[in-house]
Amino acid sequence: MRRALALAATPGVPMVADTRRVGCVLLDDAGRTIAEGFHAGPGTPHAEAAALAAAADSAAGTTAVVTLEPCDHTGRTGPCTQALIAAGVRRVVFAEPDANPTAAGGQARLEAAGIEVVSGLLADEAAALKRVYDVARAEQRPFVTWKLAATLDGRSAAADGTSRWVSGTAARRDTHRLRALCDTMLVGTGTVLVDDPLLTVRDAEDRPLAVQPLRAVMGRRDLPADRRVLNSDAQTVLLRTRDPREALAQLWARGRQHVFLEGGPTLAAAFVRAGLVDEIVCYVAPFFLGAGLSSVADLGIGTLAEAFRPRVADVVVLEPVVEGEEPNVRFILTPQHPADHQERE
């Protein structure tokens, strides 16, 4: 099941509003892997169908290990239950039931066909994988991951404006890994004008992935034609608004499910104040600047009792991969959801 979960989280796979990440592994009676598959985005075969296609005539008698209960409806593709039955799969093990009423009923269909079904294996880990999907559907807007890099005293740039690089090479590679799990990169016009970012996903050798997230720039200012975000490396959309809710509404209308917010401190503060941050990824570098640009702008907080206090979900020390660099610490934090940090007047 852990292999199926890893397949479900394959980087570079575009997931839009109504699409789930799912992985599937087919095993023989000795526990050997016969074939694997994962859902590669809207309109592509579901994980089970992809694994069955890879197995060809070897699927009969196997056990299908799937992160999600096989669907029992026809949408962009046919029902996975029928494909498993037709292939002669003997046993199905899945992590969590499908809560979507349109697709549910797979277990009953499989059992009626004489297939043994086991549910609940690593259900908690599978639930964590689908949190983005659940929040997006519940809120009817994209899930927002805010990424920032800061020094020990909370600075994202020095007093002279230099910010390359606050984080180390290991942190930047980790950032690209996380970017690859999102379908949209979001910054403000100020970041584009000052930093001229490329906003693409690249591997450890700085090569771009074949599938790139949508690049979104929000704000009312026009962008010079020579900005790198306007090149042909990925699709870019300009959101002519300064309102975070309106920006997310426009992205939701485009079918976007997961936004990676990499804008500057002003844009970050606007999303935090609006209660529109669902996850925070913070890289902390082990040095002080004492002055310079804060990692987040004014949140309207006047006293310690009003502090914005997300819950620490994970802490990892990222060891240096380049000689001479120092370790960075990555924090993953989760605000209460639905947000209890309502927008302050």
> What is the domain-level CATH number for residue 259?
3.40.430.10
Neighbouring residues of 101: CB distance < 8 A, sequence distance ≥ 6: none
Domain count, the chain: 2
pLDDT at 13: 67
CB 287 within 8 A of CB 152: yes
Question: What pLDDT, on the 0 to 100 scale, is given for residue 43?
Answer: 77
The SS3 of residue 236 is: strand
Q: Which of 192, 252, 198, 183 is nearest to 218 (CA)?
A: 192
Does residue 48 have an active-site annotation?
yes
- Does residue 146 share a domain with residue 14? no
Q: What is the CATH number of the domain that holds 18?
A: 3.40.140.10
| 46 labeled part of a ligand binding site | yes
330 in Cβ contact with 318 (< 8 Å): yes
Which domain does 233 fall in, by range? Answer: 137-334
What pLDDT sits at residue 160?
A: 83
Co-location of 115 and 153 in the same domain: no
Of 79, 100, 129, the position where a domain reaches its end is 129
* Dist. CA 70–CA 93, nearest whole Å: 10
- Are 147 and 123 in a shared domain? no
* Residue of 48, 69, 96, 279 marked active site: 48
Consult the annotation and say whether 227 binds a ligand: no
Chunked into runs of 10 residues, the chain (345 residues) has average pLDDT values of: 89 66 94 93 87 95 95 83 96 90 85 95 84 88 95 90 82 92 93 93 86 94 96 96 97 92 94 96 94 91 92 94 91 72 38
Shared-domain flag, residues 89 and 176: no
24 touches 68 (CB < 8 A): no
Report pLDDT for 127.
82
Residue 342 lies in a domain: no
The answer to whether residue 340 sits within a structural domain is: no
Q: ∠ CA 337-176-19 to the nearest 5 degrees?
A: 50
Whether residue 293 sits in one domain with residue 206? yes
Q: Answer yes or no: do 153 and 280 share one domain.
A: yes
SS3 208: strand
Answer yes or no: is 341 within a domain. no
Q: Is the domain of 101 the same as that of 23?
A: yes
Q: Residue 258: beta bridge partners?
A: 143
Residue range 128-153, pLDDT digits in tens: 778 888 899 889 999 999 999 999 99
The verdict on whether omega for the bond into residue 165 sits within 30 degrees of 0, i.e. cis, is yes
Residues 125 and 187 placed together within one structural domain of the fold: no
User: Cα–Cα distance between 40 and 38 in angstroms, integer?
Assistant: 6
Is there a binding annotation on residue 104?
Answer: no
Looking at the structure, do residues 41 and 91 belong to the same domain, yes or no? yes
Alpha-carbon dihedral sign for residues 66, 332, 312, 331: positive
- Token pair of 211 as six digits: 């599938």
Distances 2 to 24, 95, 259 between C-alpha atoms, Å? 10, 10, 26
- What residues have CB less than 8 Å from 233, skipping those under 6 apart? 198, 200, 208, 212
216 is in an annotated binding site: no
Q: Do the domain assignments include residue 206?
A: yes
DSSP 8-state assignment for residue 310 = P
Domain boundary among 79, 107, 129: 129
Query: Is 209 known to sit in a ligand binding site?
Result: no
Confirm or deny that 172 is annotated as ligand binding: no
Q: What DSSP string describes 280-293? A: EEEEEES---SSSE
The reply, when asked if residue 266 is annotated as ligand binding, is: yes
Q: Three-state SS for 92? A: strand
Among the candidates 129, 163, 182, a domain finishes at 129
Query: For residues 256 and 142, is the Cβ–Cβ distance under 8 A?
Result: yes
**Residue-level pLDDT at 125:** 84
Tokens describing residue 237: 């959309």
